[in-house]
Amino acid sequence: MESIQIRSFREQDFDHVHQLNQQEGWEGLVQHNEETLCAWINSEPALVAVDDSGELVGYLRGLTDGTTTLYICELLVKESCRKQGIAEQLVRTAHECYPNARVDMLATESSEGYYSHTGYRSFYGFRKAAEEM
Domain ranges of the chain: 5-132
Q: Which fold has domain 5-132?
A: Aminopeptidase (3.40.630)
pLDDT tens for each residue of 73-85: 999 999 999 999 9
Q: How confident is the model at residue 100 (pLDDT cuts 50, 70, 90)?
A: very high
Alpha-carbon span 130 to 23, nearest angstrom:
25
SS3 per-residue string spanning the chain: CCCCEEEECCHHHHHHHHHHHHHHCCHHHHHCHHHHHHHHHCCCCEEEEECCCCCEEEEEEEEECCCCEEEEEEEEECHHHCCCCHHHHHHHHHHHHCCCCEEEECCCCCCHHHHHHCCCCCCCCCCCCHHHC
pLDDT for position 52 = 94
> Of all residues in the chain, what percent carry a pLDDT higher than 70?
98
Among residues 47, 48, 46, 50, the alpha carbon closest in space to that of 4 is found at: 50
pTM for the model: 0.89
In this structure, how many other beta carbons lie within 10 angstroms of the beta carbon of residue 6?
19
